[in-house]
A and B are shown apart, each in its own frame.
Chain A
Amino acid sequence: MIDNQLAEKEITGIPEKKPRELTVSLQDAAVQLDNHQIWNNADINVEQGEFIAVVGPNGSGKSTLFRVLLGMQPLSQGQVHVLGEIPHRGNQAIGYVPQRRSFDPDVPIRGSDLVMLGLEGLNWGFALPGPAQHRRRQLVEESLKAVEATAYADRPIGKLSGGEQQRLVLAQALVSNPRLLLLDEPLANLDLRNQIAITQLVARLARANAATVLLVTHDINPLLPVVDRVIYIAKGKMVIGKPEEVITTSTLSRLYDAPVQVVKDINGRLFVVGLEQETAHPHEHDEH
């Protein structure tokens, strides 16, 4: 079914909602950087509360998609709406966790300070004690409790493990109660146990807050239990659909325009085979 739709470049499922009612909506969107098409003809609709994995090879434009949604990258063509509006910087309803190298071990800041900055880092001056500050402190504590990081929130963040740092940056993204969470490779550099723990944590918190999640990852497998749909970006093309529809031999072969095979092992894990010859979509920028 999806093959025909791909061939006719139709979106997966006719949207019953107008673009402004969807959480994320891209219509015939394209991005160009330095005369280079990153992706084009993107038609994506994401509804409130969905958990979407964003997958694709390096350089395919996953981080670019995030930059577009955050209002930091304009489209060269088409339209995009986020939470019913044109994307703009400083949208407080979006929680963002960028692709991150870990913090310098000597950085003199605590996890709790980092989360607090997520709440008030935009305000000029410095915080004066009072009811507003007290309220903020409470929100920070709640956020830390939700990610189970209270025990180490007052230690210098650079000295914590990868998993602990990820929980803290997640707490920072969640503290302002966002309706949309954009997580760029939050599972990279984590061992499998932590990958699963963070995945479940994100899914649980997003459900509790009725937030929509877009999570960029290299490996779809830890996410299969919680993901609703997958956005797959490759060779300048973007498709969205259920994992069992998108991560298939036929869909990916069509996307890559090359003989690609999707293999499932007895545990249900998916492996994409045949991409060794594929190079990333050529680009000059340091992106994903």
Chain B
Amino acid sequence: MGAHYLATGFGWNLIRDIQAQFQYAFMQHAYTAGAIVAIVAGVVGYFVVLRSLSFAGHALSHIGFAGATGAVALGVNPIYGLLVFTIGGAVGMGALGKRIYGRDVVIGIVLAWMLGLGVLFLSLYSGYATEAYALLFGEILGISQTDVVVTLAAGMVTLAAIAIMFRPLLFASVDSDVAEARGVPVRLLSILFMVVLAISVSEAVQVVGVLLIFALLVTPPAIAERLTARPGMAIALSVLLALLFTWVGLFVSFYLPYPVSFFITTLAFTTYLVVRLCIYFRQRFTKLSPA
């Protein structure tokens, strides 16, 4: 990971720093792909938190891991393995509909086995360690131009899908009984959303890896929902935060010999902590002040 700890040092002229970073193609790709992933994760993540699917999202990333390593063992680009397995898992979970709640034990068992399978597939492939690392923790600095194009295409598909489903999905997510009675196709939306989630997870794995999906998919919307109850605002905030964490994490990692995903997750976690503390103290303070 010392590879990107370069001689060009950090200076307080941020514009110059960014220009210096953009000299390198891999940094351009990283910022672009990172931005796309962050925007998608911010939008999709809002619904993940709303529908209480964070564990399902987590499970999908592990299922994807088995798919990706299987693909690598077969000599195929891992993103295809990721997509096939996550979409398969998504359809299965989406078909469960509301019955998915309370099934976290079953999901956990499947997820653990998927990781085991992934380890097996990795051992069949000679480039064991780096491949494993990249899939588990993300290798945003290893993104090629083709990867950026694929990420952009997948990103646009997911955002278009969410835009089309937006109102019925929101309705079904907060009020599924009434929505169903009104004629909203709740089961179909459940499956479609899980597929959208699968694609977003597959994308996000490139940036933060399988184990750290939560940092982009769950933490930003979780922060947003503490700050506003308006759906439009919450999504915008969620996207902004995800973008901030990704870009700042990238920027900082250029100068320090530590993994990008560490910075991203730390920024996310710290922000979450600070927001919660602020809210807590503000409540305490307003209770203490005279009425």
Tell whether, in the assembled complex, residue A114 and residue B175 are in contact, meaning their CB atoms are under 8 Å apart.
yes
B182 at the interface (CB under 8 A from A): yes
Tell whether, in the assembled complex, residue A126 and residue B174 are in contact, meaning their CB atoms are under 8 Å apart.
no
B291 at the interface (CB under 8 A from A): no
B225 to chain A, nearest CB (A): 4
Q: Look across to chain A and name the residue whose beta carbon is closest to the beta carbon of B52.
A: A104
Once A108-B50, A108-B225 are accepted as A-B contacts, the answer to whether A122 and B181 lie under 8 Å apart by CB is: no
A-B contact count (CB 8 A): 92
Q: Look across to chain A and name the residue whose beta carbon is closest to the beta carbon of B179.
A: A121
Tell whether, in the assembled complex, residue B163 and residue A121 are in contact, meaning their CB atoms are under 8 Å apart.
no
B39 to chain A, nearest CB (A): 16
Once A90-B182, A98-B178, A126-B166 are accepted as A-B contacts, the answer to whether A121 and B231 lie under 8 Å apart by CB is: no
A172 to chain B, nearest CB (A): 7
Q: Look across to chain B and name the residue whose beta carbon is closest to the beta carbon of A169.
A: B178
On chain B, the number of residues with a Cβ less than 8 Å from chain A's Cβ atoms is 27
A245 at the interface (CB under 8 A from B): no
A154 to B178 CA separation, bound complex (whole angstroms): 21
Which residues on A sit within 8 Å (CB–CB) of B167?
117, 120-127
Q: Look across to chain A and name the residue whose beta carbon is closest to the beta carbon of B230.
A: A110
B183 at the interface (CB under 8 A from A): yes
Q: Look across to chain B and name the residue whose beta carbon is closest to the beta carbon of A70.
A: B181
Tell whether, in the assembled complex, residue B175 and residue A117 are in contact, meaning their CB atoms are under 8 Å apart.
yes
Once A113-B230, A124-B168, A156-B229 are accepted as A-B contacts, the answer to whether A107 and B174 lie under 8 Å apart by CB is: yes
A72 at the interface (CB under 8 A from B): yes
Q: Look across to chain A and name the residue whose beta carbon is closest to the beta carbon of B222.
A: A106
A166 to chain B, nearest CB (A): 14
The DSSP consensus for interface residues of chain B is helix
Tell whether, in the assembled complex, residue B164 and residue A124 are in contact, meaning their CB atoms are under 8 Å apart.
yes
Tell whether, in the assembled complex, residue B165 and residue A124 are in contact, meaning their CB atoms are under 8 Å apart.
yes
A69 to chain B, nearest CB (A): 10
Which residues on B sit within 8 Å (CB–CB) of A173?
178
Which residues on B sit within 8 Å (CB–CB) of A72?
180-181
Which residues on B sit within 8 Å (CB–CB) of A120?
167
Which of A89, A90, A94, A109 touches B174 (beta carbons < 8 Å)?
A: A109
A86 to chain B, nearest CB (A): 15
Tell whether, in the assembled complex, residue A109 and residue B229 are in contact, meaning their CB atoms are under 8 Å apart.
yes
A244 to B56 CA separation, bound complex (whole angstroms): 53
Tell whether, in the assembled complex, residue A121 and residue B171 are in contact, meaning their CB atoms are under 8 Å apart.
yes
Q: Look across to chain A and name the residue whose beta carbon is closest to the beta carbon of B162.
A: A126
Tell whether, in the assembled complex, residue B50 and residue A107 are in contact, meaning their CB atoms are under 8 Å apart.
yes
The DSSP consensus for interface residues of chain A is loop
B265 to chain A, nearest CB (A): 22
What per-residue 1/0 map shows which CB atoms of B151-193 lie under 8 Å from chain A?
Answer: 0000000000001111110110011011111111000000000
Contacting B at CB under 8 A, from A131-157, are 154-157
Which residues on A sit within 8 Å (CB–CB) of B225?
106, 108
B234 at the interface (CB under 8 A from A): yes
A89 to B202 CA separation, bound complex (whole angstroms): 36
Q: Look across to chain B and name the residue whose beta carbon is closest to the beta carbon of A99.
A: B177
Tell whether, in the assembled complex, residue A108 and residue B166 are in contact, meaning their CB atoms are under 8 Å apart.
no
A61 at the interface (CB under 8 A from B): no
A121 to B171 CA separation, bound complex (whole angstroms): 6
Tell whether, in the assembled complex, residue B231 and residue A108 are in contact, meaning their CB atoms are under 8 Å apart.
yes
Which of A91, A97, A106, A117 touches B171 (beta carbons < 8 Å)?
A: A117
B266 at the interface (CB under 8 A from A): no
B171 to chain A, nearest CB (A): 3
A56 at the interface (CB under 8 A from B): no
The 8 closest A-B pairs by CB, nearest first: A90-B183, A121-B171, A156-B229, A108-B225, A98-B177, A126-B166, A96-B181, A117-B171
List 5 additional A-B contacts (Cβ < 8 Å) besides A106-B226, A108-B231.
A100-B177, A108-B228, A117-B170, A124-B168, A125-B163
| Chain B residues with a Cβ under 8 A of chain A | 50, 163-168, 170-171, 174-175, 177-184, 224-226, 228-231, 234
Could you show 14 A-B contacts with beta carbons less than 8 Å apart? A70-B181, A90-B181, A98-B177, A98-B181, A106-B226, A107-B174, A110-B229, A110-B230, A121-B175, A122-B167, A122-B168, A122-B182, A125-B164, A125-B166
